[in-house]
Amino acid sequence: MSKQPFDDRYPAMFQPGGEAMPAGIHLPVTPADTIAPAAVPAAVPVMPQAPGQYSTASDAQEALAATGLPIPAAAGLAGTELVDSNATADPGAGAKSPWLLWRVPAIVGALLLSLGVLLPVLPSWIAKSSGDPNEMYAGEMWAYVASQAAAPMVGVGAGALALLLFLYTQQHPTRREGLRRLFAIASAAVLAAGLFAQFATYMYPPIRHESVDSLSGQSTFFMSPSTFVSLLGLFAFGPLVVGLLMFAALAISHKTSLIRAYTVGLLLVAVAVFSQFAQKIFPNVPLSTQYYEGGNQGIPGWPSMLPMLTPALVAAGVIVIAAAALGPVITAVIRTPRDAPQAGRLDERNDEVEQAEDHVQPEL
């Protein structure tokens, strides 16, 4: 009888004369056929490798393709949307300093703050932006127009830098006390700058202006604050709000809770109401007089000046209350698993696998 040839399609144990071979023999697999077990759907019979079954994963994939149905992608492979983040993550990303991660908002905040400070100064260097000191309205109109855009820049820039500093204090528990003291000093400095800008009108003497009538030759004198003092008044709102919010964050972060946040916000609103009606509560506070070279001016009592702080107090209080109300919602959204939408897609893939199981039959 002639010797039967060796058939490469079947393992050696199924070849002629292979009955005596152990059942646990291991056959080498070529690298091209090497694939993770999860890459082959469970509906495709792969093991054990008997006649009529698929000996490699590539044969199983070819059989699925022959049915005309879409081949479901394997979970965990790079071709799907479920990619292992550990495999694609940058190994050096965790070693970067937080300041390297936050350098973009820090640069943006510093740039806004710098532009807000420099913008009102630039028009004063342009000759046409200044008026004649002898005219009735001798203000630098360009400076006032520019300051309207500069004031929000100062507030947003200072707020961004303050927020970065506050977040930095929360990331280092071992140095938290020292960083909290630094944050408190910064809060006091920002609030003091806002108070100085708000009440600078009463700290600097006004400038005397003279106007001469061209027809009669009669001179008229009037007093008005300097352009610098007027610009400071326009800048005051931003630093005041940022300084109050920094102190509010400092008080809330000591023992963080929603009740504490609502309490701080309502307290700021209550102080705003008091400042608005302080003049009615204390009507008998006398005025004071400020003397300077060439004249004097009256300074109102402190109850009359407190309403100037009402807008900043109301804004800070409302922001704190809104943050306390939105905090749980924002936290819940952040903590929601990002792969939740993938559940529907996985169900679709499971349906495709079931359809493949119905159409793919092993060859016997």
| CA pair distance 73, 352, nearest whole angstrom | 10
pLDDT in tens, 286-301: 777 777 666 677 778 8
Percent of the chain with pLDDT over 90: 22
| CA pair distance 25, 9, nearest whole angstrom | 16
| CA pair distance 35, 19, nearest whole angstrom | 29
Residue type, 284: N
- Is the CA virtual torsion 306, 307, 311, 315 positive or negative? positive
DSSP letter string, 263-293: HHHHHHHHHHHHHHTHHHHSTTPPPEEEEET
Where do the structural domains in the chain lie, given as residue ranges?
A: 13-81, 97-285+299-335
pLDDT in tens, 128-164: 555 555 554 555 566 667 767 888 898 899 999 999 8
Lowest mean pLDDT among 3-17, 247-261, 323-337, 343-357: 343-357
CB 147 within 8 A of CB 191: no
Long-range contacts of the stretch 8-15 (C-beta < 8 A, 24+) = 9/55, 10/49, 10/51, 10/55, 11/49, 11/55, 14/50, 14/51
CB 286 within 8 A of CB 270: no
Q: Is 158 exposed, middle or buried (0-12, 13-18, 19+ CB in 10 A)?
A: buried
User: CA nearest 170: which of 180, 182, 161?
Assistant: 180
Angle between helices 227-235 and 176-198 (to 10 degrees): 130
Q: What is the per-residue pLDDT for 47?
A: 47
DSSP letter string, 104-154: HHHHHHHHHHHHHHHTTTGGGGSGGGSPPTTSS----HHHHHHHHHHHHHH
Half-sphere exposure of 94 (CA within 13 A, CB side): 3
pLDDT in tens, 55-82: 455 565 665 566 655 555 554 444 444 4
Band of pLDDT at residue 352, cut at 50, 70 and 90: low
| CA pair distance 253, 180, nearest whole angstrom | 10
pLDDT in tens, 85-106: 444 444 444 445 656 777 888 9
Give residue for tokens 């970067």: 96
Lowest mean pLDDT among 33-37, 234-238, 330-334: 33-37
Lowest mean pLDDT among 79-83, 162-166, 173-177, 270-274: 79-83
Q: What is the per-residue pLDDT for 176?
A: 80
Residue 337 has a CB neighbour count (10 Å cut-off) of 8
| CA pair distance 254, 85, nearest whole angstrom | 35
How do beta strands 219-224 and 288-292 pair?
unpaired
Identify which has the larger pLDDT, 178 or 131.
Answer: 178
DSSP letter string, 11-36: -GGGSTT-TTS-TT------GGG---
Identify which has the larger pLDDT, 140 or 199.
Answer: 199
| CA pair distance 250, 186, nearest whole angstrom | 11
Identify which has the larger pLDDT, 79 or 346.
Answer: 346
| CA pair distance 268, 320, nearest whole angstrom | 9
| CA pair distance 283, 274, nearest whole angstrom | 14
What is the distance of C-alpha 284 from the center of its chain? 49
Q: What does the block give as tokens for 188?
A: 């006091």
Q: What is the per-residue pLDDT for 309?
A: 93
| CA pair distance 208, 296, nearest whole angstrom | 11
Give residue for tokens 């309490």: 263
pLDDT, the chain, mean:
73
Would residue 73 be called left, alpha or beta, if left means φ above 0 and alpha means ψ between -120 and 50 degrees?
beta
